[in-house]
């Protein structure tokens, strides 16, 4: 197969399943396990309405616990598949496979996962793609190990060769590399011919160093959905306003401005005085739906309305995500889509 046959599909293209890992007492969720399991149950219940879900479980006890919680909630278990794998935590967007279409097959990019620059233990998470691939889950897809720290939450593609990312994140991971050098590496590995950078925008309570999936997302039809802040007194206002201006200045490959969909801003959510990163941009796209993080805020409904405009024809489903942001991530962060045809 020639290199020109390799393509990084957009998230809204057809999917075979969603990949997640079930939280358990050996993860950082231990102190609030019941609350976060409630969110996972709601997430799986929403996913299986539209497509299968593949759930990593650390051992038989975790599988039995997950199965019991899902069954008690009436989840359609025939659309759930459990797979045994060891993991340090459950942020599958960053430790899971980044899948490219390679002609009639697939290529699984297995970048180094360093827990966002060595902030946490990640030895088992870094081996997850290899472990899943070795079990034959992905048929004859080729796994490509890449000695470079990159997380799935740090990149967005439109499926047509344009990548969107943030300078803060990539610079934090690779401080010696220039922007041109990073653009060239990303374009080569991810089969892109344009790399767009945002220099502004970051959320308090986000320990990923400004992952793009908390800030701005591509949508079909040359559109960008992004997290805005309309509260002039909020500490995020200046940074997100500067980011909005950057996004407005971006151009499609045809030289046109993107269609823009600003998301509303939730009121501050605090945990013992610590600000939590309640971003509506951290939504998950399914085959016929968009699952959006809900925070019990009046802005939830307004965010759903924006997403309905950006993704016409898809049902917008709210998933309660306050338990997730306690650990500094949200809905998109704990999931990874698997393109149609990938599962063996």
Active site residue ranges: 333
User: Among candidates 282, 278, 284, which has minimal Cα distance to 266?
Assistant: 278
Beta bridge partners of 166: 198
Tokens in use for 137?
């889950």
Strand partners, 209: none
The Cβ of residue 2 has, within 10 Å, a number of other Cβ atoms equal to: 7
Q: Give the pairing of strands 6-7 and 98-102.
A: antiparallel
Work out the number of other CB atoms within 10 angstroms of the CB of residue 212.
26
| CA pair distance 104, 123, nearest whole angstrom | 33
**Residue 157 DSSP label:** E
Do 152 and 336 touch, CB atoms closer than 8 A? yes
Whole-angstrom distance, CA of residue 30 vs CA of residue 15: 31
Distance CA 34, CA 203 (A): 26
- The answer to whether residues 75 and 48 touch, using CB atoms and an 8 Å cutoff, is yes
């Amino acid at each position: 197969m020639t290199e020109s046959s390799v393509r990084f599909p957009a998230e809204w293209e057809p999917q075979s399943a969603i990949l997640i890992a079930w939280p358990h007492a050996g993860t950082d969720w231990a102190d609030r396990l019941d609350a976060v399991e409630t969110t996972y149950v709601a997430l799986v219940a929403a996913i299986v309405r539209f497509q299968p879900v593949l759930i990593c479980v650390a051992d038989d006890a975790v599988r039995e616990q997950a199965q019991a919680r899902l069954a008690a909630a009436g989840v359609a278990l025939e659309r759930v598949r459990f797979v045994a794998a060891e993991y340090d935590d459950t942020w599958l967007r960053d430790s899971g496979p980044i899948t490219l279409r390679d002609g009639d097959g697939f290529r699984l990019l297995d970048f180094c996962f360093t827990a966002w620059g060595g902030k946490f233990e990640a030895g088992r998470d870094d081996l997850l793609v290899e472990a899943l691939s070795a079990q034959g889950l992905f048929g004859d897809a080729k796994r490509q190990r890449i000695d470079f720290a990159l997380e799935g939450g740090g990149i967005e593609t439109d499926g047509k060769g344009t990548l969107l990312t943030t300078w803060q994140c990539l610079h934090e991971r690779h401080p010696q590399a220039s922007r041109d050098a990073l653009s060239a590496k990303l374009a080569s590995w991810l089969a892109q011919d344009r790399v767009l950078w945002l220099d502004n925008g970051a959320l308090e309570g986000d320990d990923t160093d400004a992952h793009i999936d908390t800030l701005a997302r591509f949508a079909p039809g040359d559109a960008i959905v992004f997290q805005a802040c309309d509260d002039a007194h909020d500490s995020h206002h200046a940074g997100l306003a500067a980011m909005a201006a950057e996004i407005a200045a971006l151009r499609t490959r045809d030289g046109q401005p993107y269609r823009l969909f600003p998301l509303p801003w939730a009121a501050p959510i605090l945990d013992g005085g610590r600000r939590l990163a309640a971003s509506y941009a951290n939504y998950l796209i399914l085959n016929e739906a968009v699952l959006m993080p809900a925070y019990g805020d009046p802005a939830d409904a307004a965010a759903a309305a924006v997403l309905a405009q950006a993704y016409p024809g898809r049902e917008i489903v709210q998933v309660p995500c306050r338990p997730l942001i306690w650990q500094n991530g949200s809905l998109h962060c704990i999931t990874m889509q698997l393109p149609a045809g990938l599962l063996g």
